[in-house]
């Protein structure tokens, strides 16, 4: 994915997952620009609609998207689009996915089922993705093998334990995604001379 003589290659990446798994936190931690965040306070309108089990202390939610940018090399810039996690906002994922090269599915092992919709979304559209298990607040009690098995992912599928608050850890997940995407690009056969 080298950039041209006119500048670096710009690539769109989705940061996805269930409600309260750390999408906004990841975009904020890794972005080299002040991220655009569309967070609003949770209100009584969401009572009985939004599943807040496990994230009862959460007071805000993304209602449209988060946006950030990170330069991985002089030739590669990633534009990060964080998706809203609540089911009532999932209709926006289709628009956000247009032109996306890949994605990161954030997982909270205490609420593993909240990641199923995001995994299904990427699989159905053929968008390469990696899984990142957000371990903030000491919530990593399972191995990567156990998580792969629980999510019905192949044995070599990229699953990373990380803390969405740590810039370096977020960058490592994004580098893994780039490697995963590149590994899926078919290598042209050598030309005969």
State residue 180's pLDDT score.
94
pLDDT digits (tens, 9 = 90+) for 1-40: 455 567 679 999 999 998 888 899 999 999 999 987 766 6
Burial tier of 189 (Cβ tally within 10 Å: 0-12, 13-18, 19+):
exposed
Q: How far apart are the first and last CA of the chain?
A: 26
pLDDT digits (tens, 9 = 90+) for 69-97: 999 999 999 999 999 876 666 777 888 89
Name the residue among 156, 168, 8, 1 with its Cα closest to residue 75: 8
What is the Rg, in whole angstroms, of the alpha carbon atoms belonging to the chain?
17
Dist CA 50 CA 43 (whole Å) = 10
SS3 assignment, position 143? coil
CA dihedral for 164, 110, 160, 40, sign (positive or negative): negative
Domains of the chain and any CATH numbers: 9-182 (3.40.50.300)
Structure tokens at 112: 């593993």
92 alpha-carbon distance from chain centroid: 15
Predicted TM-score (pTM) of this structure = 0.81
β-pairing, 60-73 vs 76-82, is antiparallel
Tell me phi and psi for residue 129, to 5 degrees. Answer: -150, 165
State residue 110's pLDDT score.
77
pLDDT digits (tens, 9 = 90+) for 90-119: 777 888 899 999 999 999 887 788 889 999
- On the question of pLDDT at 130 being above 60, the answer is yes
Dist CA 136 CA 34 (whole Å) = 22
pLDDT digits (tens, 9 = 90+) for 134-177: 886 556 678 889 999 999 999 889 999 999 999 999 999 999 99
82 alpha-carbon distance from chain centroid: 7
Tell me phi and psi for residue 171, to 5 degrees. Answer: -60, -40
């Amino acid at each position: 994915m080298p950039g041209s003589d006119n500048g670096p290659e710009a690539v769109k990446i989705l940061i996805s997952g269930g409600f309260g798994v750390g999408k906004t936190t990841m975009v904020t931690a890794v972005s080299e620009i002040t991220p655009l965040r569309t967070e609003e306070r949770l209100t009584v309108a969401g009572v009985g609609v939004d599943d807040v089990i496990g994230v009862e202390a959460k007071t805000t939610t993304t209602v449209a998207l988060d946006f950030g940018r990170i330069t991985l090399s002089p030739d590669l810039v990633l534009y990060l689009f964080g998706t809203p996690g609540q089911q009532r906002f999932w209709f926006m994922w289709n628009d956000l996915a247009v032109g996306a090269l890949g994605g990161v599915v954030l997982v909270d092992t205490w609420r593993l089922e909240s990641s199923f919709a995001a995994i299904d979304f990427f699989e159905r559209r053929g968008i390469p993705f990696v899984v990142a298990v957000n371990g903030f607040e000491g919530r990593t009690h399972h191995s990567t093998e156990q998580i792969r098995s629980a999510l019905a992912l192949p044995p070599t599928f990229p699953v990373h334990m990380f803390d969405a608050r740590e810039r370096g850890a977020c960058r490592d997940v994004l580098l893994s995604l780039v490697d995963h995407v590149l590994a899926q690009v078919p290598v042209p056969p050598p030309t005969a001379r």
